[in-house]
Structure 1
Amino acid sequence: MIKIDRLVILNYKKFANFEIEFHEGLNIIVGNNDEGKSTILEAVNLALTGTLNGRVIKNEISENIFNVDIVKKYIEALKTTPIDLPNILIELYLSGDGIDELKGNNNSKRVDTSGISFKIQFDENYKKEYESFIKTTPKSLPVEYYKVDWVSFARSSVTSRSIPLKAALIDSSTNRFQNGSDIYISRIIKESLEEDELISLAQSYRNLKDDFEQNELIKEINQKIADNGDISNKKVSIAADMSVKNSWENILTTCVDDIPFTQIGKGEQCIVKTNLALAHKKTQTANVVLMEEPENHLSHSNLNVLTHLIEKKCSDKQIIISTHSNFVANKLGLDKIILLSNSKTFALSELSKEDSAYFMALPGYDTLRMILSNKAILVEGPSDELIVQKAFQYKNNNKLPIEDGIDVISVRGLSFKRFLRIAAIIKKKVAVVTDNDDDYDANIKEKYKEFDGCENILVAASTSIRGEGQRHLNTLEPQFMEVNDLDKCLKLFNLKKANYKDKDALIKYMEGNKTEWALKIFVSSEQFIVPKYIDEAIDWILE
């Protein structure tokens, strides 16, 4: 089996300088919107087929496929000291049998291995013309001076036909219609048919055309049009279009249970498209299957159907899937996930075996919530979550954290360090709001010292372990009561003072009704004083 070990991308769309390593079988790329998941699939397909959006790349070169920051740098440099035109490079590092002819060191890593190098670069044949051109101080990238170089690591030219690795790109969510027919599914069906079947379709369509024009009603309509001399001095009539060889493709539509494909539900469309694509002869002969967010428009039950389908039909292939779905990630295998954030990647296998095993068994897989957020605040339980959310509103014009892409996630205190190890790797800004458990030095400073050098991580806990009357300030409840008035809290909780004569009695109530007291504060319009460590965590996350 031939497989892709590594993909390198320079200056292509989202990525100025990026690389990702793939597993042998299944790869599940998880990341937020605009992280570049689609670009990864697109780059693999481009390097193997030479096509972009189904069209040959040499006819599709535009400024839009170059990394925007690289283009800006080039345009700015032209004002003072011109620099070389930026190039696009996509490299696939391969392994497997029968690819020795692709082996060499013609790659950015300068390693002796098999692979493909796909470049979009300046064509030296235009050197004189380009030198004159830049004197005009252009405002955009002169893409007309580019060429495509598609070679192996052995420096020999390649084509999609000569590359032994074949790719099938499946994007079931895209709807492109032409005369009421979905182009994607029509192409799949067309490519599934044999030549004699295509000829039969064309002949049958021609018979329909003849029947249409011989219909008496149509003859009458055409005569009426012809009698109207104001239209033209030549004969004008209505006829079925047969002007191109495969005109039937543009007029016939695919039906499901006699309902036009474009009129069935989006979820059913996804299932049908994926089924057809996976059964397609091109996919069956492909070594690599690329799937773009297969979960789009699908219910939980249909997602289950889809994942079984992928597992069944692609067991002998390398699969690269992009997804936002916790379910898809869990169902297909958490150990196959590649997390993508800020142009950096990591797999769970990069964590310790203990941490990796923990996340693979974690219900709901909250790591994806942290990865997909802009920033995150980790708390110990539902009461901490509610208080942090309310305190955040005070600081942020009554907006909840999630409105700014900040996810407040309730996790068990013992697992904070596991989440922070992921945050440290992907440079995600994460604050932890936690209890000091009556020993700040041991439970905070010592426990989290491995993250002392991480500027993107803050562990917030109160340094105070004793309060008024030597009350233990070990958890949220006594910390909250330490800074808030008893009478005001009784009013917030709708409790009678006769039953709760002092703060200790009220703390006991709060500890026995953790979610209840926090929810009452969350829905109340009454202001309260936020414990200092929570206040500091929110200020930091908002920076």
Structure 2
Amino acid sequence: MKIAKAKITNFKCYEETFTLDLNGGLNVIVGANESGKTTILEAIHLALTGLLNGRPLKNDVTGYLFNLSAQDKYVKSLGTAAPLPPPTITIELFFSGDTAELAELEGDGNSEKTKSSGVVFKIEFDEESYKGPYEELVKTGTLASIPVEYYTTTMRSFARKGITARNVPIKSALIDSSSARLQNGSDLYVSRIIRDVLEEKERASISQAHRKLKEAFVSDPNLKLINQRITEAAKITRKAVSISVDLSSQTAWESSLMTYIDLIPFQYIGKGEQCVIKTKLALSTKKNAEATAILLEEPENHLSHTRLNGLIADLTEEHAKKQIIISTHSSFVANKLGLDHLIVLRDGAVVRISELRASDFFKKLAGYDTLRLVLAERAILVEGDSDELVVQRAYMDANDGRLPIHDGIDVISVGTAFLQFLEIAEALKIPTSVVTDNDGDAAAVEKKYAAYAGSENIRICFDPVEDGGDLKINSKPFNYNTLEPKLLKENDLATLKAILGVAAETDDQLRIHMRSNKTESALAIFNSDEKITYPKYILEAIAR
């Protein structure tokens, strides 16, 4: 039994219905901040359990759960000739598998009207109970937000029958190891997990031991002397004032529980170790061990590559038969778990690396920078290190010394793989500029990138002018149509030789030097106190 597909409508960042197909095994969801990764995990867990942030949502419905745009449209429609009905949050989960339990959830009670097994969780206006009061409220013209007090939560199967989480055969465990909730020096997350592990007899034994400690504390003669001093000093009542501990609650020990790791209080050990322990403890609890779907939020928090590598290995080995959905910002996690499992999110768009024409290229690409393009607000693709340095400096000169990354722009050196990266950029509508040489054949460049000529998001920036000259190196004609000759064309010999610190006497000598020392020349330009003039195509690439 697996979750084959999730459909989310009006929940948090998703206004229009968002659909995500899921693998039966491992799913790695990657995206920038606010791209909706966490919302997906929360929505799946909510539809399976009715819980949000560990509490039953039916008692805690708030307007903040609704998509802001949907809420705004609803409020603005009130008082018009065609007011919109109160918006509804809908989460649909389509299941796959062939079991009797799933058969009981089968029907066409879903948005696709197809016969499938699954559940529908809704946060909707309770018209049966509140139609009259709602209409009166609307007539007053004072309604400025969604009237959540008139809302209810419902959970139904695709067979159109009301169900509870107990009726759903797929169980989920949502794990966020980054949360740090401390009370009386104890991490509530770890404390709760440990309590869940204990049997009733064990809990009773701890309670008895805790009570004995408290009774010993209360009967200590030193405490009696201290309480006498407090009563004399307080002068707030004729009755005795004293300090003690709570002896009334059977579970008082739980609120004062402190977790130790190698005799060190949990909150004092390293953050990375905390995250690993939380994740492993959460996965080992009886409830989560029985879960068929593991939802893991950003496992890379506070972890070095070595610790993260170990955690990922443990996770995939111990829970290989379960459906695992991981959200992450980390290209290391994505590469480690395999790009075949990678789902990329951006502004509601979804791209699977395995479905791209360039999928083989990205699978073979060395290093862990394959996702920089996805996580950037905007990207500038260049061929090599020298182009990257010059483009960075050009941007700084045009923007009061700010580096592109300060404005969410990532300058990425991709070698000659522009087309492979552009496939992702086009699919996710990432604003992207390509800085490329014309190499003496501008028509060939236009032909190469013809598919992106009308794109709203992609700009192909190159010099349309084909330059030439008599210079030859080892009997081969010099290429006047790369970055370095174009820089010399825009600036005079004296300016560039001073910046580069060379004694070139002619333009050709400087061209040869810059060709042989591309990165060093670009670095000198990047670090120079003196500004230079940049070719028009570079200025086009950095323009917003």
- Name the structure 1 match of 2:435: 433
Instruction: Say whether residues 1:530 and 2:534 are aligned partners.
Output: yes
Aligned pairs for 1:108-507 within 5 A: 108-124=111-127, 125-137=129-141, 138-227=143-232, 230-352=235-357, 355-413=358-416, 415-442=417-444, 444-467=445-468, 472-496=479-503, 500-507=504-511
Q: Offset at 1:429?
A: 0.7
TM-score normalised by structure 2 residue count? 0.95
Answer yes or no: is the 8 Å Cα contact 2:124–2:153 preserved in 1. yes
Tell me the distance in 2 between the aligned counterparts of 1:324 and 1:286.
25
The letter of the residue matching 2:421 is F
* Residue aligned with 1:428, SS: coil
- Name the structure 2 match of 1:53: 53
Answer yes or no: is the 8 Å Cα contact 2:339–2:354 preserved in 1. no
Q: Deviations over 1:469-521 (max 9, x none)?
A: 6974321111111221111111111111xxx2221221111111111000001
Answer yes or no: is the 8 Å Cα contact 2:362–2:370 preserved in 1. yes
- Name the structure 1 match of 2:474: none
Answer yes or no: is the 8 Å Cα contact 1:377–1:407 preserved in 2. yes
* Residue aligned with 1:15, SS: coil
Q: Offset at 1:49?
A: 0.5
Instruction: Say whether residues 1:15 and 2:14 are aligned partners.
Output: yes
Q: Offset at 1:448?
A: 1.2
Q: Offset at 1:228?
A: 5.5
* Residue aligned with 2:15, SS: strand
Answer yes or no: is the 8 Å Cα contact 2:272–2:303 preserved in 1. yes
* Residue aligned with 1:310, SS: helix
Tell me the distance in 1 between the aligned counterparts of 2:367 and 2:249.
54
The letter of the residue matching 1:504 is D
Q: Deviations over 1:368-418 (max 9, x none)?
A: 1000000000000000001101111122222111000000000111x1100
Tell me the distance in 1 between the aligned counterparts of 2:310 and 2:240.
56
Counting aligned pairs with the same residue, the percent is 49
Answer yes or no: is the 8 Å Cα contact 2:381–2:435 preserved in 1. yes
Structure 1 residues 228 and 508: alpha-carbon distance in aligned structure 2, compared to 1, 3 A threshold = closer
User: How many residues align structurally?
Assistant: 532
* Residue aligned with 1:161, SS: helix
Q: Deviations over 1:100-126 (max 9, x none)?
A: 111111111221111110001110120
* Residue aligned with 1:367, SS: coil
* Residue aligned with 1:462, SS: coil
Q: Offset at 1:226?
A: 4.3
Tell me the distance in 2 between the aligned counterparts of 1:366 and 1:435.
23
Answer yes or no: is the 8 Å Cα contact 1:167–1:287 preserved in 2. yes
Answer yes or no: is the 8 Å Cα contact 1:465–1:472 preserved in 2. no
- Name the structure 2 match of 1:508: 512
Answer yes or no: is the 8 Å Cα contact 1:393–1:400 preserved in 2. yes
Q: Deviations over 1:319-377 (max 9, x none)?
A: 0111111211111112111111111111112212xx11110121224331000000000
Tell me the distance in 1 between the aligned counterparts of 2:367 and 2:139.
59
Answer yes or no: is the 8 Å Cα contact 2:26–2:341 preserved in 1. yes
Q: Deviations over 1:156-206 (max 9, x none)?
A: 111111100000111100011122211111110000111111111111111
- Name the structure 1 match of 2:27: 27
Answer yes or no: is the 8 Å Cα contact 1:278–1:313 preserved in 2. no
* Residue aligned with 1:168, SS: strand
Superposition CA RMSD, Å: 1.5
* Residue aligned with 1:473, SS: coil
Answer yes or no: is the 8 Å Cα contact 1:3–1:96 preserved in 2. yes
* Residue aligned with 2:5, SS: strand
Tell me the distance in 2 between the aligned counterparts of 1:129 and 1:459.
59
Q: Offset at 1:459?
A: 1.1
The letter of the residue matching 1:21 is D
Gaps of 5+ in 1: none
Tell me the distance in 2 between the aligned counterparts of 1:484 and 1:469.
20
Aligned pairs for 1:60-71 within 5 A: 60-71=60-71
Answer yes or no: is the 8 Å Cα contact 2:156–2:163 preserved in 1. yes
Identify the range of structure 1 (74-83 vs 147-156) with the bigger mean alpha-carbon deviation: 74-83
- Name the structure 2 match of 1:97: 98
Identify the range of structure 1 (202-211 vs 234-243) with the bigger mean alpha-carbon deviation: 234-243
Answer yes or no: is the 8 Å Cα contact 1:8–1:92 preserved in 2. yes
Identify the range of structure 1 (296-305 vs 47-56) with the bigger mean alpha-carbon deviation: 296-305
Q: Offset at 1:219?
A: 2.1
- Name the structure 1 match of 2:475: none
Tell me the distance in 2 between the aligned counterparts of 1:312 and 1:246.
37
Answer yes or no: is the 8 Å Cα contact 2:469–2:480 preserved in 1. no
Q: Deviations over 1:56-87 (max 9, x none)?
A: 10111111110011111111111424210010
Q: Offset at 1:467?
A: 4.3
Answer yes or no: is the 8 Å Cα contact 2:381–2:413 preserved in 1. yes
Tell me the distance in 2 between the aligned counterparts of 1:225 and 1:506.
87
* Residue aligned with 2:294, SS: strand
* Residue aligned with 1:298, SS: coil
Answer yes or no: is the 8 Å Cα contact 2:342–2:354 preserved in 1. no
The letter of the residue matching 1:314 is H
TM-score normalised by structure 1 residue count? 0.95
Tell me the distance in 2 between the aligned counterparts of 1:97 and 1:263.
48
Q: Offset at 1:435?
A: 1.1
Answer yes or no: is the 8 Å Cα contact 1:385–1:408 preserved in 2. yes
Answer yes or no: is the 8 Å Cα contact 2:234–2:241 preserved in 1. no
Tell me the distance in 1 between the aligned counterparts of 2:107 and 2:201.
44
